[in-house]
């Protein structure tokens, strides 16, 4: 962590870092959901599931 300007440097980079983490998490969740919803190998699975 950088402690040059405690007031300004701490809040901004931390915020953007947290946002990046959130975006990464959401992207991974979305990707996994898409992969699960549309299986490339057997698309019939969706109908059999009843969803």
Evaluate the CA torsion angle 18, 23, 28, 33 in order and state its sign: positive
- What pLDDT does residue 50 have? 54
Between CA 47 and CA 39 the distance in angstroms is 12
Extract the tokens encoding 8: 């300004």
- What pLDDT does residue 32 have? 87
Q: What is the pLDDT of residues 1-51, one digit of tens each?
A: 555 555 555 566 788 888 889 999 999 999 888 877 665 665 555 555 555
- What pLDDT does residue 28 have? 92
Q: What is the pTM for the complete model shown?
A: 0.40
Site of tokens 């009843």: 50
- What pLDDT does residue 24 have? 92
């Amino acid at each position: 962590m950088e402690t040059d300007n405690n007031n300004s440097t701490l809040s901004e980079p931390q915020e953007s870092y947290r946002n990046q983490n959130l975006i990464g998490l959401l992207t991974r969740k979305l990707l996994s959901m898409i992969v699960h919803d549309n299986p490339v190998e057997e698309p019939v699975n969706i109908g059999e599931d009843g969803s």
